[in-house]
Amino acid sequence: MNDCIFCKIIEDKLPAYKVYEDEKFMAFLDIAPVNPGHTFVVPKKHFVSLSDVPKEYTADFMTVVKKVGDAVMEAVGVEGFNLGMNNGGVAGQIVPHVHMHIMPRVESDGLKLWPSKKYSPGEDKQVAQKIRQALGQDHEEN
Ligand code: 5GP
Ligand code: ZN
């Protein structure tokens, strides 16, 4: 049996304030919002994290995020929002059904962005090379 709370919301077995639905995606309010209008966009099929989402979903995912994000801004009367997706427990993912947070922002709402670190000398070049290798783009010398 699938114990995923988001699957249960999608299947109407748990309540949520749903705001959007199409063939592949659904959007509903976060139960504990950063600000009113904080909304999730989720694929209706169960995938744990972005790494599990197949190509047939990825472009449409962002199309729906943009559509819902614009509607949220208009509905709650804000001029900006953050997107957030926690992939994996180490990244703070609590609900193991991939979801994009759309978080409307208002001045001085207290939401802090991530802290920043410094690279040690040469570390940035090495990391960039490894990422290019992982992407099969290691022919370039930067
Ligand atoms: P994440 O996995 O993105 O780190 O955190 C899970 C998010 O889901 C939190 O923002 C939390 O408020 C939200 N959440 C947890 N349980 C429920 C629920 O039953 N319904 C809804 N609508 N949101 C939930
Ligand atoms: Zn699920």
Q: What is the CATH number of domain 5-113?
A: 3.30.428.10
Q: Is 32 in the pocket of ligand 1 (CB under 6 A)?
A: yes
Distance between CA atoms of residues 136 and 64, nearest Å: 29
pLDDT of residue 51: 97
* Ligand 2 centroid, distance to 3 Cα (angstroms): 8
Using the predicted structure, report yes or no on whether residue 1 has a pLDDT greater than 60: no
Give the three-state DSSP class for 27.
strand
Asked if residue 139 has pLDDT above 90, the reply is no
Identify the nearest ligand to the CA of 44 by its number: 2
Q: Average model confidence (pLDDT) for the chain?
A: 95
* pLDDT recorded at residue 2: 79
Distance, CA of 130 to CA of 119 (rounded, Å): 15
Ligand 1 centroid vs 6 CA: distance in angstroms? 9
Q: Using an 8 Å Cβ cutoff, are 72 and 104 in contact?
A: yes
Residues 50-104 have pLDDT tens digits of: 999 999 999 999 999 999 999 999 999 999 999 999 999 999 999 999 999 999 9
Under 8 Å between Cβ of 87 and 96: no
| Active site (annotated) includes residue 139 | no
Those residues with Cβ within 8 angstroms of residue 140's Cβ, 6 or more apart along the chain or in another chain: 132
Regarding the beta carbon of 90 and ligand 1, being less than 6 Å apart is answered no
Check if 86 has its Cβ closer than 6 Å to any atom of ligand 1. yes
